Structure 1
């Protein structure tokens, strides 16, 4: 993770997903469908966040690489 803020956000996503998984195991009937819908949404949001972080890290590496190459 690039910084503490991103690490905290990642942990919040993971805690929410863990909580929803626990609820899904215990849920029955219509409640299960609701929990699974929430879980699907949480997983999608987490994937989008990870893509955002990956783009930032990739950009940082590319900038450092081109700066390093320019210094050579």
Structure 2
């Protein structure tokens, strides 16, 4: 599948899981739910604090879009 189709599929699965949890039911396959970057849809390198992958965090931090985040150098 193309990346866009996988992103949509993942969003539908998250919505279905939230709906089941709101009804008080257990999610059938909880390991099938995985986090994706909210900017590019990447799966690996996901950092939950920012809801983005490491690459998008680096780009946003370098352009000054993330408050309080600075580039580290030593």
**Alignment TM-score > 0.5, same fold:** no
Q: Which has the higher strand share?
A: 2
Larger radius of gyration: 1
Higher relative contact order (CA 8 A, sep 6+): 1
Q: Which has the higher helix share?
A: 1
TM-score by length of 2: 0.41
TM-score by length of 1: 0.42
